[in-house]
Amino acid sequence: MLAASGFLTVGVFLALVLSRRVSVLFALTLVPIAAALASGFGGQLGALIADGLVTVAPVAIMITFAVLYFSLMIDAGLFDPAVTRILRWAGGDPLKITVGTALLTLLVALDGDGASTFLITVSALLPIYQRLGMRRIVLAGVICLAAGVMNMVPWGGPTARAMAALNLDSGQLFVPVLPAMIAGILWVLVAAYLIGRAERKRLGVIEVDVVDRARLTGAQRVRFWINAVLTLALVVCLLAQLADLEVLFLLAFLVALLVNRPSWAGQQELLTKHAYNVVLVVVVIFAAGVFTGILTGTGMIKAMAEALVSVIPDSAAGLLPVATAITSMPFSLVFTPDSFYYGVVPVLAETTAALGGDPAAIGRAAILGQMTTGFPLSPLTASTFILLGMSGVDLGDHQRFIFKWAFGTTLVMTAVALVTGVL
C-alpha cells in the first residue's frame, strides 16, 4: 500500500510539474500532504513536515548567503578586470575569443546562478562576436558548456537540490566528485578550442581594439584586492571544509558588506535588488523539505525502494549509479530539476541502499549531468531562454549544435568518477 501511494505521489508530482498545471511550490507541498492524509498519516503531518524542514534548513541558509555574496561581488566589479584581460588576450582571433568565452564563463559562473552568468557573459562578449562576424550559436553553446560544469558547485542548483533531497552535506556529495568536475572543465576548454578552431578557419584573424572596462584607482583598487583575497579565502575554506558551508558564506558575506556596503542605505539597496532571486530559490528548497520529509517519514520512499529491489537483480546494484550518471543529462530535457532531484533521485538512492550500494553515489551520479551539463539546453528552465534571448539563437538550433559536446562533458566526468571510485 505504501509503495503504491509513493509511486502515485511521485507520478502525480511529475505530471503536474511537467504539464506546468501548477507551480513547483504547490506540487512539492500539496501533493505529498494529500498523499499523507489519504494514507492515514494526518495525525503525524505536522511532525513529518517539521522534520523535513529541519533537514533542508542548512542548505537554504547556505544558498541565501551564497547568492547574496556573489551578487555583491559582481556588483562590486570583481570580475570586470578579468573580462578586460581575456578580451585583450583574445584580440581578433576567433579561436582565442571562443576559449576566452569559456574561461570568462567558468569564472563568472562561480556564483552558481545561471541567469546572472548569462547576463554578464553575453553582454560582455556579444559585441565582439558581432564585430568579428562569429556565429552567435558558438557564443551560446560555449557559455552553455562552461556554465553547466560550474553549476556543480555546492551552492549551485543541482548539488543544492541533491543535498536537500538526500540529506547529505558537501563533503559527502561534492568533494568526492571534484576530480570529475576538474576533468569536465578541461573537456570544456578542449571543446571550446575545437569549436573556435573551426570559426578561425571560417573567418581568419581580424584586428580589433578592446576598451578597458575596469580602470581601478585609489579606494576602488584597495576594495578590489580585498574582495579578491576574501573570495579566494572563501573558496579555499569551502573546499577544505573548515566549517559548514552556511557558516562560511554568512561570515564572508558580512565581511564583504563591511568592505563594499558599510552604510545601511547601501545594504538595503543590495538586499532589495537581489531579494527576488534569493526568495525564489529558498522557498523551493523549503518546499522540497516538505516533500522529502513526508515521503521519508511515512516510509513511502523505503517501500518504493523495496518494491524496486524485488524486481532488480542483486548484481545490478553497482550499475545504478553509472546508469543514473549517463542518463541524467538527456533526462534534463524531460524532467525539471525539481522533479528529478526530489521525485526520482530519492527513490533511486533508497533502492541502491537496499541492494547494498551507497545511496550518496546516486546523488553524485545525478549532478554529473541532470541540470549540470543539461540545464542551459533544457526548455524547462527559464535561464535557458535568457541565454538564447540575449544571444539571439533558436532553441532547436542551440540543442542540435551543442548537445553532443554537453553529453561528452557528462561522459568524461562519469569516466573520471568511475576511475576515482566515487560511483
Contact 347, 301 (CB under 8 A): yes
Return the amino acid letter for 357: G
380 compared with 166, residue with greater pLDDT: 166
Using the CB atoms, write b or e for 353-368: b if 16+ within 10 Å. bbbebbbbbbbbbbbb
The total domain count for the chain is 1
At residue 176's C-alpha, the angle toward residues 171 and 180, to 5°, is 140
SS3 sequence of 51-71: HHHHHHHHHHHHHHHHHHHHH
Q: What's the pLDDT score for residue 343?
A: 76
pTM of the model: 0.68
Mean predicted lDDT score pLDDT of the chain: 82
Check residue 186 and give its pLDDT: 96
Q: Contact 94/205 with Cβ under 8 angstroms? A: yes
Least confident of 302-306, 389-393, 411-415: 302-306
Give per-residue pLDDT as tens, 148-192. 899 888 877 788 888 888 888 888 889 899 999 999 999 999 999
- Confidence at residue 413, expressed as pLDDT on a 0 to 100 scale: 94
Phi (first) and psi of residue 354, to 5 degrees = -65, -25
Distances (CA, A) of 95 to 100, 141, 197, 198, 255: 8, 14, 5, 8, 39
CA distance 314 to 356: 8
The mean per-residue pLDDT over the stretch 37-55 comes to: 88
Give Rg (Cα) of the chain.
22
Contact criterion met (CB below 8 Å) for 42 and 54: no
Measure the CA–CA gap between 67 and 270, rounded to whole angstroms. Answer: 11
Residue 29 predicted with pLDDT over 60: yes
* Helix, strand, coil in percent for the chain, rounding step 5: 80, 0, 20
DSSP letters for 2-63: HHHHHHHHHHHHHHHHHHTSS-HHHHHHHHHHHHHHHTT-GGGHHHHHHHHHHHHHHHHHHH
Domain range for 164 is 1-420
In whole angstroms, give the CA distance from residue 155 to residue 159: 7
9 pLDDT higher than 60 = yes
Greater confidence (260 vs 219) lies with 260
What's 213's DSSP letter? S
Residue 398 has pLDDT above 70, yes or no: yes
How confident is the model at residue 178, as a pLDDT?
Answer: 93
Share of the chain above pLDDT 70, in %: 88
Check residue 18 and give its pLDDT. 63
pLDDT at 415 over 60: yes
Three-state secondary structure of 222-273: HHHHHHHHHHHHHHHHHHHCCCCHHHHHHHHHHHHHHHHCCCHHHHHHHHHH
Name the DSSP class of 209. -
Question: Does residue 7 register a pLDDT over 60?
Answer: yes
What are 72-99's pLDDT values in tens digits?
Answer: 887 887 777 766 776 677 777 899 999 9
Please give the Cα distance from 92 to 240 (Å, whole number): 40
Q: What is the DSSP string of 70-129?
A: HHHHHHTTTTHHHHHHHHHHHTT-HHHHHHHHHHHHHHHGGG--HHHHHHHHHHHHHHHH
Mean pLDDT of 342-370: 84
Only one residue has cell 578557419, namely 201
In Å, how far from its chain's centre is CA 3?
A: 31
Mean pLDDT, rounded, for 390-408: 84
Give the residue-averaged pLDDT of 265-289. Answer: 82
Q: How far apart are CA 268 and CA 68, in angstroms?
A: 12
